Structure formats: structure tokens, C-alpha cells
Structure 1
Amino acid sequence: MRIEDLYQCFLQCDSISTDTRKITPNSLFFALKGDNFDANEFAQEALNKGALFVVIDNKKYFTDENKMLLVQDTLKALQDLANYHRNQLGLPIISLTGSNGKTTTKELIKCVLSKKYNTHATFGNLNNHIGVPLTLLSFKEDTDIGIVEMGANHQKEIEMLCEIAQPDYGYITNFGKAHLEGFGGIDGVIKGKSEMYDYLQENGRTVFVNLDDTIQEQKTSKLDRYTFSTDSSKNPNITIKSIEASPFVTINFNETTIKSNLIGIYNANNINAAVTIGKYFNISDNDIKKAIENYIPSNNRSQLIEKGTNKIILDAYNANPSSMSAALTNLRQLEGKKTAILGDMFELGNESLQEHKKLIESIINDTDIEFHFIGNDFYTSKIEKNNIHYYTDFNDFKERKVTSDIGNNTILIKGSRGMALERVLDII
């Protein structure tokens, strides 16, 4: 089937579906395949539930020539359709990647740009080879600016996503120790994430850069860039004059003070990027301030929750060595009694035990914090000390009723998504 013909069918639909359990009326259903499923089998079910058309790549299930669209590969058809739609709309697109802070930064940028433009962005964390096409296909004719978050855990993935989305602008939050297993170490992370820079440079596009990050500054020296820094001697486009976190992040630029609802100094650059991109797109200082101050974090990301006599910093959406270190640095700066409940960090490959051991070694002298490490990798890497405790898994932690003794504390809860440490809230 020609992409032009598929596009005409798409224009007749109200939405895209890839899961028959979530079919919406008048949708275009793509029968994708996975390791353990083939959605071609459910093509007729999708039509029965209200899909207007279904896209399939298995002739065996082609039973309705009016409603079934046969292609060679449904995933490629989805990606090609998204790229075609992106080019039909012709709107400016900002791409966003990095090891930590992508989703928070995306949400902040969306809030700022929405003060002046009809801005659409990646929903949740739909940032992979399926999520990016779905994001692009959600943009409408009245969309002024699109923001596309791009995630990756191996080489060439960002390159492929850029080819689909064809961004006009890009921002990389940071290079951290995340997905080391897929990237093959920190050098692989830098190379993989920098594929966005490669695309933008080859196509003469613009990057937003934190000049305080030496690696980012060096990698973008030959690109068209719009920059921010806390050091005015670097001649940034936007100078961030001060940053505080006690515990909420406050920054100052252009004599404007922004008091955010985000906890932790590690969130400062997420705010700084939103300020910088807002200024590039001519958002007023006052509107930038309002947008950022009205943003409330959710989905287990840097949330401050008061429960009984405790203040809880819930940052349990994900974790890697870089983000874990940043969260602990922030905890150290807070006053009063402090407890850290930390879960294993996933996708670190052969470096996993080494990275868990390094993190324990980094906190060994923190005598004013009570540490509870949950998970097999932390347990295997343990170093004994009175204020450091280890548990093989969440059930082990729960059964020991540790939280019954915690009161009048600031509690940091952080771990990889698979640890689901938000469950700690139920037992405090």
C-alpha cells in the first residue's frame, strides 16, 4: 500500500490504536508484533470494537478489503506514516533526550511554550520506536510546536528516531550512567545520545546547550546553538544568576526569581532549559515564571509528600548511578533527621555489582542518614555499618516492619521502575 493511500485512511480516523483492549471508536488500528504476540490475530476483533481501519502485515488475516490495509511491515508502516504526517504539518519540532530528567524537562518546556503557542508533547514516556510515531501522529493541524521525547538503550536508536521525527531543535539533558548494558558503558551512552547532535548538525538545525556541562559544550561547539550557563564569562544567551534548593528549587534570571515545586538541585538544569527555550521562542519572563511555578510534579517523580510526621521525597519512577548520586547529594543538604530507602538500579549489565558497590562506598561516611538498601544487587554488594541496612527484596523489607519506627524524618524513596518502591508509601 502506498503511504499516500494509508495517509488518506489515517485522516478519516480520530485516533491511533495498537492494543485491542484500548480500542476507541473510529480509530486506525496497527497490528504490531512482539516477541510473544502477533496482533494480526486480533485484526477482526479491532474492527468489531469500533476501529475504522486496521493495518496488518499477514495475508492470512486479510478478510475485509474495505477495512483491512495490507502492508509489508506494520511497525515500519506506522513509522513511515508518522514521518509523512510530520512533513505534511511542517510544524517546528523540539527533540529531547538524555540519561536523566527527560520527562520532567519535557513537561516544563510544554508548560512554558503553552503560554503563547498551541503546544503538544509526548504523552507520558511514549519515547521509543513505537511511542515517537504515536506522538507525531497525535499532532494536529492547529499544533504550533511539537515536543518529542526520545529514549534509547542502545546505539543507533536516537539516530532512527531523529530520522522519523526530523526535529528542528534538540536538547540533551545530560550524559549519565543509564542503560549501560545496552550502550556498553558511559562512552557508549555519550555516543548514543549524541546521535541527536549528529542529526541536527548534518541538517543545519539548532541545539539548546547547558554550557556548564563540559562534554555538552565541547560536542556542540560547531553547531548552531542557543545556550544557558551560571557563568556569564562563557557568554551564554541566558545567564542563570543563582540556584538554591531548600528543598524546592529556586532560580534567578533577568532579575526574575522562579520558585518551583521541584525538589533537588538536580532539577535546576531542567528548569534552566525550559527558561532558555522559552526565551528563544519569545515567551515573556513573567509568563515563564508563572508556567514553571504552576507545574506540579507527578508520577513518582520528585514529589514531596507529607505523611504523618514524615516528609517523603518520592522519586521512585527510575534510578541509575547518576540520578541516585544526585538525589543523595540533595538529601545531604537538608536539615533534620533523614532516611534513604533505595532500590536496585537496573540495566547496568556487567557493571551492575560494581556500580552498586560504588554507591554504597559513596555514602559510607554519611553518619547522619539512615540507609535501607532493597534488592539483590545492593544486598550482594553490602558493606556492614550500623546505619546501613540491607534487604533481599521488598517483601523482606516489609516483613521487618522497618517503617514503623520512622518518624519526624525526611525520607528519600528512590529505585528503578521495576522495584516499584512507591509501595513503601503504603507501609509508612
Structure 2
Amino acid sequence: MIQELYAKFQKYPIVSTDSRNIIPNSIFFALKGENFNGNAYAKDALEKGAAYAVIDEKEYHDSEYTILVENVLETLQQLASYHRKQLNIPIISLTGSNGKTTTKELIHAVISKKYKTTATKGNLNNHIGVPLTLLSMDSTTEIGIVEMGANHQKEIAFLSSIAEPDYGYITNFGKAHLEGFGGVEGVIKGKSELYDYLKANDKFIFVNGDDSKQVERTQNVRHFTFGSSTTDELTIQFVSANPMVKATVKNVEIQSQLIGSYNFSNIAAAIAMGTYFNVPLSDIKDAVEAYVPANNRSQIIEKHSNKIILDAYNANPTSMKAALDNFSNLSDRSKIAFLGDMFELGKSAAEEHQFISDYAASLDIDTIYLVGENFGNTKNNHKNVYIHTSFESLKNQFPTIKNSTLLIKGSRGMALERILDLL
């Protein structure tokens, strides 16, 4: 069945999953979600120009151009796995608690200086996004880059079995998705499933030599280390982050457009992989220096008399603390932080939100606004901390802010980028 479908995919090598945005001569996969059934849109997809529609409910099998399967999602995954096996190219996979998408984009920017590179678009890094990424690679692709996200055990193992990476990298082990992983040790175990796959298949690992947790998990396996030590295979030195990260490698200074010292390891990973794949250092420098973050990730925005550090794409205790440390160290004028709830922390939610509340108050930050139900339940004895249990509450009491530097950070569900409209 997969071979027959693959023959059709070779003729129509574009996959669509949204009937509202059908690409002509693509194959539509009728995926299901909590609030939608793609099968119901198969006919519409065909009318809009799809070559075929893959469905899994017999009542919609009313055309020679509908392909009935047992499970559309599993078929998509199987097709991607089969396609991966036909691709005679190296694939780099990366996962981690923080910085995955930024690191992936930096790696893509660097490696595409020399190779035709196909990488995960945005953060399409789950059980649907990884297959779609693989199916977007074709005979012109020389290196593939696949980002993998997970919020529970065995997910990275499953994605690795589909992508079959030749190279892997874990950005870090942090306090993210604690609820699904069952605590910090569960996070380490879950993310390390990428290492487990690479070890079992005699593949290759890129290792941040400054991260002891990574180093101890990559012994007795083929690897390439990078870090601040001269014992690493590539020495990369952190210079400063005031506010943009600056680094040096082989006496060449690289000035990024990424704010925060926490982005140094993301930049270093891209430099290391570029070096390993023989991208000229001058091209590596150009790629890193030209990369500008987007999508609410560590963006610098000037609005009226204020400078805003917009880092509202997502948040967890590890990334929140790193962002606060960096913000505190800035020698800017009046500093104001807007912090939104951190999601998926399970039993640790109360403790972690209380820690961030107290920690933020202890830093060199003039005023702190905490937003959300979790932050609303914290005990507050700090004169410079103001709590709002919802965005609407903050909106209704929003202060007049001028000539200040703002940090905006929270989980995706908080959508704190809406603060920009209040300024």
C-alpha cells in the first residue's frame, strides 16, 4: 500500500493537510483533530486542485481520487519513513528543552551557505510536523535538518525512528513539559532518546562541551565537541551580550543579532556544525551575523520611546530564569518585566511560579508585572511586583510607560505579545 501511495507521491510530490490552502497537484491528507475531521473536507480539497485525497472513513470514499486507508496520520508517518529511506542524504536532528527553533534556524542559515538544505519550517516539530518536513525534501536536498519536539516519554524515540538521523544535537535539558515527562529526570530521559537512537545505530553526536549533562551522556560514541575549553575539538569563546551576543572562534569575532547570553550555546552549535561540514568560516560569520530572530523569539522592537525585548513565544522555568538574568544585567534605563504563566508544569507549577516571582524581585529590575492564574496564586511581599490574574486585568489597569526597556515573556497560551498594542 505504501509503495503504491509513494508512486503517486513521486508524481505529485507535495503534501497538503489544510483544505483551505490547497496547493494544486498536491496530495491531501485528511487529518483529524479535537475539533475537526479532515475527511469531511476531502471533496473540497479535490475541487480546489488536489490530485488525491487520503481518507480513513469509508463514507467519504466517493471518488477514484480518494485513497481509503486505515489511519490517515499513521499513513502520513509511514510515507515519510519510506521516503526517508529513499533519500541518500545526511539528516541532522535536534531536540532540547529550550532554543530548538532558534538553533535549527541558525544551523540552517550556516549550512545552506554551502549545501542545498531543507529544514523544519517554523516549529513543525511533532508527530505531524516531522513527517511533513521529511516529505518536503527532494532529490535536490543535500542535507536535511529536522527539529523534534516532545512533551512525554517515547516521543523522541518515535520521531527518530521516522527521521533516521545521521547526526544529532540536544540544546539542553531544562524544566519544560514537567507534567508530561514526570519531572526533570524524566525530561533528561525523554530528550536523551535521540542520543539512544544515534548510539544504537552508530551515528554521530554534536556535544556542547560546557554542558556536563550532555558530556556524560555521550561517552563511547562518535561525537564532535565544541565549547570554551581548548580540549574541545572546536573552541568557541563567549565575548559579551550587551545586549547582543558576541563570540570568537579561531580569532574571528562574530557579532550576532541575538539578545541574551543564553543564546550563545545556540550560536556555538551552528558554528560547530558549519565547521564540521567544511563551511568556510567567513560564510559562517556572515550567516550568523545576518540572522534576525522573528516570531516573538528574543526580538528587539522599538516602539515610541520604549525598547522591547519580545520573548513571548514560550516559557518554562529554565528559559524564564535565563531571560531574567540577562535582562537584569542590562545597563539600560528603567527596566520593566511582564511575565506570563508557564504551562505544563504539573505538580511543580505552584513552586516554580513562586520561585520566579521571588527571583525576579531580587534582581536589578525596576518593576515586575506577573500575569496569569498561576502567578496570581503566588505570595507577594515585594513592593515592585504587581500581580494580574488575567490579561484582561492587566489591560484594564495598564500603566503609562515611557523611556523604558521592557521584557515580555510567557508561555504561548498567554499571548503576551498583545502588550505591544497597549503601549
TM category (shorter chain) comes to over 0.9
Secondary structure of the corresponding residue to residue 141 of structure 2 = coil
Aligned to 1:274: 270
In 2, the alpha carbon distance for the partners of 1:81 and 1:141 equals 16
Aligned to 1:265: 261
Deviation of 1:386 (Å)? 1.2
Aligned to 2:128: 130
In 1, the alpha carbon distance for the partners of 2:65 and 2:97 equals 42
Deviation of 1:243 (Å)? 2.8
Q: AA paired with 2:371?
A: I
Q: AA paired with 1:146?
A: G
Runs of 4+ in 1 over 6 A off after TM superposition: none
Aligned to 2:4: 5
Secondary structure of the corresponding residue to residue 363 of structure 1 = helix
Q: AA paired with 1:345?
A: M
State the TM-score, normalized to the length of structure 1.
0.97
Aligned to 1:58: 57
Q: AA paired with 2:315?
A: A
In 2, the alpha carbon distance for the partners of 1:231 and 1:187 equals 27
**Maintained 8 Å contact 2:208/2:214:** yes
Question: Does 22-31 or 161-170 show the bigger shift?
Answer: 22-31
Aligned partner of 1:301 among 297, 312, 321:
297
Aligned to 1:254: 250
Aligned to 1:143: 141
Deviation of 1:18 (Å)? 1.1
Aligned to 1:420: 415
Aligned partner of 1:323 among 319, 339, 354:
319
In 1, the alpha carbon distance for the partners of 2:237 and 2:123 equals 31
Q: AA paired with 1:288?
A: I
Aligned to 2:42: 43
**Maintained 8 Å contact 2:337/2:365:** no
Deviation of 1:242 (Å)? 3.1
In 2, the alpha carbon distance for the partners of 1:10 and 1:365 equals 57
**Maintained 8 Å contact 1:170/1:196:** yes
**Maintained 8 Å contact 2:116/2:143:** yes
Residues 1:245 and 1:150: Cα distance change in structure 2 (over 3 Å)? same
**Maintained 8 Å contact 2:81/2:162:** yes
In 1, the alpha carbon distance for the partners of 2:26 and 2:235 equals 47
**Maintained 8 Å contact 1:367/1:387:** no
> Deviation string for 1:186-222 (max 9, x for gaps)?
1110000000000000000001010111110000112
Deviation of 1:35 (Å)? 3.0
In 2, the alpha carbon distance for the partners of 1:395 and 1:93 equals 45
**Maintained 8 Å contact 2:168/2:205:** yes
Gaps of 5+ in 1: none
In 2, the alpha carbon distance for the partners of 1:169 and 1:327 equals 29
Deviation of 1:384 (Å)? 2.4
Deviation of 1:367 (Å)? 5.3
Q: Does 1:385 align with 2:382?
A: yes
Residues 1:264 and 1:416: Cα distance change in structure 2 (over 3 Å)? same
State the TM-score, normalized to the length of structure 2.
0.98
Aligned to 1:24: 23
Residues 1:97 and 1:321: Cα distance change in structure 2 (over 3 Å)? same
Q: How does 1:188-267 map to 2 (within 5 A)?
A: 188-232=186-230, 235-267=231-263
In 2, the alpha carbon distance for the partners of 1:367 and 1:193 equals 34
Aligned to 2:167: 169
Aligned to 1:409: 404
Q: Does 1:343 align with 2:348?
A: no
> Deviation string for 1:352-391 (max 9, x for gaps)?
1111011112223225431011111001113122111100
The number of residue pairs the alignment matches comes to 422
**Maintained 8 Å contact 1:226/1:237:** yes
Deviation of 1:299 (Å)? 0.5
> Deviation string for 1:318-343 (max 9, x for gaps)?
00000000000101110132111110
In 2, the alpha carbon distance for the partners of 1:366 and 1:293 equals 30
In 1, the alpha carbon distance for the partners of 2:221 and 2:194 equals 12
Gaps of 5+ in 2: none
Cα RMSD, aligned residues only: 1.1
**Maintained 8 Å contact 1:311/1:410:** yes
Deviation of 1:269 (Å)? 0.3
> Deviation string for 1:70-127 (max 9, x for gaps)?
2221111101110111111121100010000000000000000011000110001100
Aligned to 1:374: 371
In 1, the alpha carbon distance for the partners of 2:366 and 2:149 equals 33
In 2, the alpha carbon distance for the partners of 1:417 and 1:206 equals 33
> Deviation string for 1:8-30 (max 9, x for gaps)?
11112142111211212111011
